[in-house]
Chains A and B, each alone.
Chain A
Amino acid sequence: MEGLIGKGELRIDAYDKVTGKGLFASDYGNQFPNLAHMKALRSPYAHALIKKLDISKASALDGVIYIMTGYEPGLDWDQFPKASIIAKDETLWAGQIVALVCAETLEIAERAVELIEVEFEKLPAVLDYYAAIDPNAASVIDPEYETRPLGFSDRPGDRASNRVSPNVVGEFKMHAGDVPSAMEEAEIIVEGEFWTGKKTASPMECANAICRYDSDGGITMWSNGAGVHGVIKQGICRILKIKESMVRIIQPYMGGSFGSRLNPYVEVITALMCLRTKKTVSFQFNREEVFTGAPSNWPCITKVKLGAKKDGTIIVNDYYLAEEIGACVNNTFFSGRLSSSGAVPVYRFPNLRMDTCAVATNTVPAAEYRGLGCPEGEFGIECLVNQLADELGMSPVEIRMKNIIDKGERDAFGELITSIGLKECLQSVADAIKVEEMPDQDAGAWKKGRGCAVGGKQNTPLGRSEAEVWYNSDGSIQLFISCDENGMGATTALAQIAAHEFQVPISEVKVTKGDTAITPYDNYSASSRTTYNTGNAVILACEEAISKLKIEVARVYGLHPSKVEIKGRKAILVGSHVQEVDIPSLFAPTSMFTQGNWGLQKGTPVIGHGLFCPAPIHQWDENGLSDRVWNWFQYSAAAVEVAVNEETGQVKVLKIASSADTGNPINPKLVEGQIEGGIHMAIGFSINEEHVFDGNGKIANANLSDYRLPTILDMPTNENVHAFINPDPLPDGPYGAKGMAESITIPVGPAIAHAIYKAVGVRVTGYPMTAERILALINEKKAKEAAK
């Protein structure tokens, strides 16, 4: 049978999802007639003292079961996910929980929230990087910062020294080569400061969890959170100090994550309420809470200075980056290292200096969002590479072909690049959009322009993935995995891998997934690692099962196992009187006469187990350098044609091409889906999506009417969307595959920015590139021209 790798197999969850038969976490609420409901009272102010908090009237309301506040005894709030820390004395962002009610019905819970008497005293707040970095800014972080233990951080250097402002709470520095000397050598220098807006991942399903109080005092949870083992179960056991045996986490179909559900801000607090009340409880965020009470991304501010030779060879990059992380109290995660990682694997910077930090603000605590800060961190670099090309009279394609790092080279950290197909990616998108030619213009207000950019994203080694596979006595296959299925289709790709290994059609493989009582450990699905990490584990599991099966078959026929080949239901034998055997027929039926504790037996599967964990990273030296900082790199290029309205400043993407270096794709159809979804998401945050704050520092557009996610009408029409795959096989990937989902969003923004420049002659320095901002730039340019 021909292999299944590289085939566009139909998603195994397609039917369930399209017909509405698939169950999502909140659907499980129907099972519990006495389900209790949680509702949060949230701070309306970005920064305020809680002068009074009186829950007596609310507690007295009939049907109220429990009200939790920041004064709840026996808890160490510092250990909780940031977005679920209940305010005590002081609120740090508008949307922080002040009290959490549990009641017999949602309506009672809502009435109880209204009955809580609370008085605030507004304090000065810092809402963005520029306000927070001021040396005299109001401090978001408690004064104990300097003395706090670093918690779980294993990265020395994350503690900020000589802080510019009280809100700087982490830093990272690296220096490769000699940046000052190289800057002097440079024949042309371009520089700029770039910003990005604050955005919220908007999966269709709002965050939610249902937690059952079991008769033995344990808990069973259904949630749409990511990482049943590594994030949720470990989080609950560590923070609430309960035995691992007493916690079971089940992840039904997930209605999306984009990284936002990698943080157990619903699960830990829901488990806590369940344990306190001994009731089965449900905590369902509404859409407003997804904006104000769930983590946002972290915007980045970059200051970039590139030096190059006249022939376009870039020789130096002096790079500053700040991650704006919201109200992440006791930060042990952010230092700027994550977002700045994108500056390294794309271009051959012989001289690179990075000075990065994390800055806290009075906004919702930040957490993972597709790309881990790389789209934000690479925006400035890509804009300046385009500017460099313009100033040197080169094409944006040509200058990149000269500077993109090649396979076998080492990046500025000193890491070996083992797989990169970026030049091919760039060429394919540039050709599709004809990015080096100018589009035809008409006399109307809409001016057209084309642009391109590239991006790269590291894969972080994030621990173990395990898989278990059963070869059943009837020849059917069962796969047990615990990776997340955010919607990307990884489950299908993994089933495809198992089917390929056993040489059966994918329909023969049944997947059981995401239940900590049943499926083996997987840390979590992040950093585009599932196909790579869990994929390798699935291959290992299949290999083990096949090898055991060969031994069993060989025993029956008196052969060495190497003389047996497994092809689905069939075993092909070499050197035997039998050439081919139907494997299920070898499983002996259980009877008084045939039972035994060895050999193949009906009903007892042959089981294989696989465990895969990438190699750990190496501690960097005093210059921030190391030969293993990350694992491998995914790449993407994008080219666009946009129309810009000179009167209104509106930007429309008319055509887009995106290409992914996925390594060898397991399922190209799924990759295309990821490319198209990634484009859509990136168009949204490049042009429209951002938090807008009211006078109290509350998000004023915390709804899907005013937070302008792109609709299908904001996408270019089908014939104008081009998705390409330009693989460079990853040597350590399953069949040469690597992850790709994050890289797609990186180059879209800077490609749009350059297309805007080509259309109307203004250089954008940040995103979202809203109509107002573009119009302001156009007017500024007109005023300058008029003054001449």
Chain B
Amino acid sequence: MRFDKYFEPTTVEECCSILKEYGSDAKILAGGTDVVPRLKNKIWRPKAVVGISKLPDIDTIAVQKDHLVLGAGARLRKISLEKSLEKDYKVIMEAAGNVSSMQIRNIATIGGNACNASPSADAIQGLITMDAIAVITGPEGTREVAIADFFTGPGTTVLNTGEFLLQFKVPAPKPGTGAIYKKFAIRGDTDISIVGVGCRLTLQIDGTIEDARISLAAVAPKPIRAIEAEMLLIGKKLTTELIEQVGEAAANSCSPITDQRATAEYRKEMIRVWTRHAVEEAELRAKSS
């Protein structure tokens, strides 16, 4: 592990200017659970490493009137235990709590989980399910990107050279909303997900589904939404047949690979199974909200 400079900027402006100076030779360090192994294994050989933990409010977790603010440096374990999220943002707590072991969650951050852009990342599934907005800052100023558009491929995001992720804004859900994230792995959270399924349903008073989100982990080059499955749900009431169809549609919408964790076929089948469970349980939560 070798690099020339380590910076710990205390203002956003300072951070921007360092990133501007070093361009693609700089790597941002938040929790370090993904960056440090890559530095050690020489997968990355940056000239500068920029720690962002000293930036003001970078680790904020703040529930506001119509949205939640999650600083990019908010620790996953803190998010997973934050009582104020329980009412409206439970799925974000759950997804953050599903990442790896407690030791990792103690230092890993929500921004790091997003910028690492692993298709199998759990914490970002909560954000996708809840239509979070990424707040990005850089030399050209600050911009906002919908989380669904944030990822461009395995390990890549819309972040341009010199830009960095500041925070997420998560709109407060409408009444009648329930959301859940289902992680499937052999040894529980410690393992990297074989698949993950997030689901949010907003129900009308009579139980008709007004809005639906289904997000899938580890079954495509990036985290994806199962749009067709969502469309099947909207405007209908949940039945056993519909749940089956939605599972099928979700499985059809993904393009998994075979790797050391599972075969592509098994992943597809697990999407079918866990989409069914996620939809059922999201409805239960929506009804009780």
A interface, CB within 8 angstroms of B: 107, 114, 647-648, 650, 688, 692, 694, 700-701, 705-706, 708, 710-711, 713-714, 770-772, 775
Task: Indicate whether B145 reaches chain A with its CB closer than 8 angstroms.
Answer: no
Known: A648-B184, A706-B260. A772 touches B266 (CB 8 A): yes
A591 to B266, CA, bound (A): 83
Q: Least Cβ distance of A437 to chain B in Å?
A: 29
B186 touching A771, Cβ below 8 Å: yes
A701 touching B260, Cβ below 8 Å: yes
A705 touching B186, Cβ below 8 Å: no
Return chain A residues, CB-CB under 8 Å to B84.
none
Known: A688-B186, A700-B259, A700-B260. A708 touches B273 (CB 8 A): no
B259 touching A705, Cβ below 8 Å: no
B273 touching A714, Cβ below 8 Å: no
Return chain B residues, CB-CB under 8 Å to A701.
260-261
Closest residue of chain B to A706 (Cβ to Cβ) is B260
* 20 A/B residue pairs, CB under 8 Å, sorted by A: A647-B273, A648-B184, A648-B270, A650-B186, A688-B187, A692-B260, A700-B259, A701-B260, A705-B192, A706-B260, A708-B186, A708-B187, A713-B188, A713-B190, A770-B186, A771-B186, A772-B262, A772-B263, A772-B266, A775-B266
Known: A648-B273, A706-B260, A772-B262. A711 touches B190 (CB 8 A): yes
Cβ contacts B181-195/A at 8 Å (1 or 0 each): 000101110111000
Return chain A residues, CB-CB under 8 Å to B273.
647-648
Q: Least Cβ distance of B192 to chain A in Å?
A: 7
Return chain B residues, CB-CB under 8 Å to A114.
42
Return chain B residues, CB-CB under 8 Å to A694.
260
Q: Tell me what chain A mostly uses at the interface: helix, strand, loop, or mixed.
A: loop
Return chain B residues, CB-CB under 8 Å to A650.
186
Task: Indicate whether B25 reaches chain A with its CB closer than 8 angstroms.
Answer: no
A775 touching B269, Cβ below 8 Å: yes
Return chain A residues, CB-CB under 8 Å to B42.
114
B interface, CB within 8 angstroms of A: 2, 42, 184, 186-188, 190-192, 259-263, 266, 269-270, 273
Return chain B residues, CB-CB under 8 Å to A775.
266, 269
Return chain A residues, CB-CB under 8 Å to B266.
771-772, 775
A701 to B258, CA, bound (A): 13
**8 Å CB contact of A708 from B2, B184, B191:** B191
A713 touching B187, Cβ below 8 Å: yes
A114 to B43, CA, bound (A): 13
Return chain B residues, CB-CB under 8 Å to A648.
184, 270, 273
Return chain B residues, CB-CB under 8 Å to A705.
191-192
Q: Which of A107, A711, A771, A772 is packed against the most chain B CB atoms within 10 Å?
A: A772
A713 to B266, CA, bound (A): 24
A700 to B262, CA, bound (A): 12
Q: Least Cβ distance of B37 to chain A in Å?
A: 10
Q: Least Cβ distance of B219 to chain A in Å?
A: 15
A647 to B269, CA, bound (A): 9
The 3 closest A-B pairs by CB, nearest first: A700-B260, A701-B260, A692-B260
Closest residue of chain B to A705 (Cβ to Cβ) is B192
Return chain A residues, CB-CB under 8 Å to B192.
705-706
Q: Least Cβ distance of A311 to chain B in Å?
A: 42
Known contacts A648-B270, A775-B269; 15 additional CB pairs below 8 A are A107-B2, A648-B184, A692-B260, A700-B259, A701-B260, A705-B191, A706-B261, A708-B186, A711-B187, A711-B190, A713-B187, A713-B190, A770-B186, A771-B266, A772-B262
Q: Which of B184, B186, B187, B190 is packed against the most chain A CB atoms within 10 Å?
A: B186
B259 touching A714, Cβ below 8 Å: no
Closest residue of chain B to A702 (Cβ to Cβ) is B260
Closest residue of chain B to A114 (Cβ to Cβ) is B42
Closest residue of chain B to A107 (Cβ to Cβ) is B2
A701 to B269, CA, bound (A): 22
Return chain B residues, CB-CB under 8 Å to A107.
2
Known: A700-B259, A772-B262. A714 touches B270 (CB 8 A): no
A730 to B238, CA, bound (A): 67
Q: Least Cβ distance of B36 to chain A in Å?
A: 15
Return chain A residues, CB-CB under 8 Å to B260.
692, 694, 700-701, 706
Return chain B residues, CB-CB under 8 Å to A688.
186-187
A452 to B260, CA, bound (A): 31
A713 to B189, CA, bound (A): 11
Closest residue of chain A to B2 (Cβ to Cβ) is A107
Q: Least Cβ distance of B104 to chain A in Å?
A: 11
A133 to B2, CA, bound (A): 48
A710 to B262, CA, bound (A): 17
Return chain A residues, CB-CB under 8 Å to B184.
648
Q: Which of B190, B260, B261, B262 is packed against the most chain A CB atoms within 10 Å?
A: B260
A107 to B42, CA, bound (A): 11
Closest residue of chain B to A692 (Cβ to Cβ) is B260
A558 to B273, CA, bound (A): 88
Q: Least Cβ distance of A287 to chain B in Å?
A: 12
Return chain B residues, CB-CB under 8 Å to A714.
187
Q: Least Cβ distance of A44 to chain B in Å?
A: 15
A688 to B191, CA, bound (A): 12
Q: Least Cβ distance of A533 to chain B in Å?
A: 38
A648 to B277, CA, bound (A): 12
A701 to B263, CA, bound (A): 14
Return chain B residues, CB-CB under 8 Å to A771.
186, 266
Closest residue of chain B to A770 (Cβ to Cβ) is B186
Return chain A residues, CB-CB under 8 Å to B269.
775
Q: Least Cβ distance of A103 to chain B in Å?
A: 15
A711 to B187, CA, bound (A): 8
Q: Least Cβ distance of B102 to chain A in Å?
A: 12
A357 to B230, CA, bound (A): 57
A701 to B42, CA, bound (A): 19
Q: Least Cβ distance of B250 to chain A in Å?
A: 15
Q: Least Cβ distance of A296 to chain B in Å?
A: 16
Return chain B residues, CB-CB under 8 Å to A692.
260
Return chain A residues, CB-CB under 8 Å to B2.
107
Closest residue of chain B to A699 (Cβ to Cβ) is B260
Q: Least Cβ distance of A718 to chain B in Å?
A: 18
Closest residue of chain B to A649 (Cβ to Cβ) is B266
Q: Least Cβ distance of A559 to chain B in Å?
A: 67
Return chain B residues, CB-CB under 8 Å to A710.
187
A175 to B192, CA, bound (A): 50
Q: Least Cβ distance of B170 to chain A in Å?
A: 29
A787 to B261, CA, bound (A): 32
Q: Which of A701, A708, A713 is packed against the most chain B CB atoms within 10 Å?
A: A708
A772 to B42, CA, bound (A): 34
Q: Least Cβ distance of B185 to chain A in Å?
A: 9
Q: Least Cβ distance of B257 to chain A in Å?
A: 12
Closest residue of chain A to B188 (Cβ to Cβ) is A713
A297 to B66, CA, bound (A): 59
Return chain A residues, CB-CB under 8 Å to B261.
701, 706
A692 to B266, CA, bound (A): 15
Q: Least Cβ distance of A286 to chain B in Å?
A: 10
